[in-house]
Structure 1
């Protein structure tokens, strides 16, 4: 990344192929306090930066569809901005695999902006070739191929959220091993050895946020010792992460379906850490996914 220049204008250029999440990333940056402008022509960027620095960091979306966009123009702009003593510039590139982009265009039935009269894959390949030099120069590259909107937000926040008085943010997550482990998790604990409420008809439709499910999981003779060791390890490592200069720590719990045991552990650990004064966020990947599906898909 660029060396910080505290007295200059902080600038994040955001680009990437259509459908990879550029606009979503810009919205996240706006929520983080950036002054955000999407579809900014390259030739206007230097003019925008002339004069006194803004009191807020800037996030500019660069779209390959703009008529003044070219690989050379993008490279020249980055070089010119990097050479300026009054600007601290970073390039955020939102990447995505071609087959995933093709699926996204097919699902939305959108035409690709670079090939409106042809098959979307033609436009996808042309745009990725056009953006390749920018991709190589990215300070931060986020591959959104497997990311949900929630995960993309978390990734952008991880890189660009301003520092505050809280020195470490802790994220506790639950997930199903059937759908793979989440990206960006620092520590993962397997809960599949614990008693499974799924096999109890009265508990099957509930999840680990429910007291009855938590009581059932906690009744496993191995639960108390397991939870105590996980909490003890977390409390041991959190200060160490601060000493190392880390801003985030992600702890994940996995089970078969991501509904009962992992959710119970995530809820209980998040509560214990919050009670101890840590800033904790909690996320249940599979429960979020279920909530977003139509009723007949649950």
Structure 2
């Protein structure tokens, strides 16, 4: 083959989002296979080598029994010893309570609890997959992710698969809506003056210039910004040297609408001078959505 084959193995907890994941890879131009038995994989590789036309493959492997899991482990070991395949394992996870909720919503039976409780099936599956999860290249917890957000996260991780380089995700959020479960660094900026109490600024967000200027006008904001940015610039080379491919920095205020948004934009812009940075505002429009629904 003229170039190495890129393989993404998609696995994880049943109900954690593998269907959404495989659809995302299809959209990115991957040749996708859903639930191929591991025992058929060697023959598949031979066909791929002979064709020479497929360079990116996403393969979903689903857990149905302990023996099936052992086949998966054997398959991954064989792939690791194959020089022409670059492999990454994507593990999708979610909290037990969220998985139970999803099963109740779809009225599906858990593959390891056909005649029993969903919670028991989840417990068995989590124990069986524990070792595989530790070996995964990327773990995404989908507990608080919508299908759209999961697609965006997968795109961020895989859309430039041949492109090397450290990536930073800056995420603003509101503490009232919960902590981001996938954050590596969390910073609380609720100590800064709140634009919420300025009537003309309340309906706006940190993306709007009046709010941004208000947040940045205070000396404590400038002191925080300089020190936090300095800290990030100090520790980033260490993450790079340790081989970490991405880092998620979450900046939170009360509602995720004003202060966290403004600071995320400024810090993200500064870090873009040296790194690849993506900025996301998780809760920026939550208040507006709540008002519209009411």
Q: TM-score range by the shorter chain?
A: 0.7 to 0.9
User: SS at 1:50's partner residue?
Assistant: helix
Cα distance in 1 for residues equivalent to 2:152 and 2:130: 20
Aligned residue among 123, 129, 139 for 1:142: 139
Cα distance in 2 for residues equivalent to 1:253 and 1:127: 32
Cα distance in 1 for residues equivalent to 2:57 and 2:160: 13
Aligned residue among 17, 28, 35 for 2:31: 35
Segment drifting more, 212-221 vs 42-51: 42-51
Are residues 253 and 50 of structure 1, via their aligned partners in 2, closer, same or farther at CA, if it must alter by over 3 Å? same
Q: What stretches of structure 1 move > 6 A for 4+ residues in a row?
A: 115-118, 291-294
1:47 maps to which residue? 43
Equivalence map 1:118-137=2 (5 Å):
122-123=117-118, 125-126=120-121, 129=124, 132-137=127-132
TM-score (norm 2): 0.77
Cα distance in 2 for residues equivalent to 1:190 and 1:47: 53
TM-score (norm 1): 0.76
Are residues 218 and 76 of structure 1, via their aligned partners in 2, closer, same or farther at CA, if it must alter by over 3 Å? closer
Cα distance in 2 for residues equivalent to 1:20 and 1:34: 21
Gaps in structure 1 of 5+ consecutive residues: 1-5
1:245 maps to which residue? 243
| Residue-pair matches, total | 283
In the alignment, does 2:188 pair up with 1:193? no
2:259 maps to which residue? 261
Cα distance in 1 for residues equivalent to 2:88 and 2:234: 34
Are residues 186 and 78 of structure 1, via their aligned partners in 2, closer, same or farther at CA, if it must alter by over 3 Å? closer
Contact 1:208/1:260 (CA < 8 Å) preserved in 2?
Answer: yes
Cα distance in 2 for residues equivalent to 1:97 and 1:236: 34
2:17 maps to which residue? 21
Contact 1:33/1:56 (CA < 8 Å) preserved in 2?
Answer: no
2:282 maps to which residue? 285
Instruction: Kindly state the Cα deviation for residue 7 of structure 1 after the two structures are TM-superposed.
Output: 7.5
1:101 maps to which residue? 99
Instruction: Kindly state the Cα deviation for residue 278 of structure 1 after the two structures are TM-superposed.
Output: 3.4
Aligned residue among 229, 232, 237 for 1:231: 229
User: SS at 1:58's partner residue?
Assistant: strand
Are residues 62 and 267 of structure 1, via their aligned partners in 2, closer, same or farther at CA, if it must alter by over 3 Å? same
In the alignment, does 2:76 pair up with 1:85? no
Are residues 162 and 91 of structure 1, via their aligned partners in 2, closer, same or farther at CA, if it must alter by over 3 Å? closer
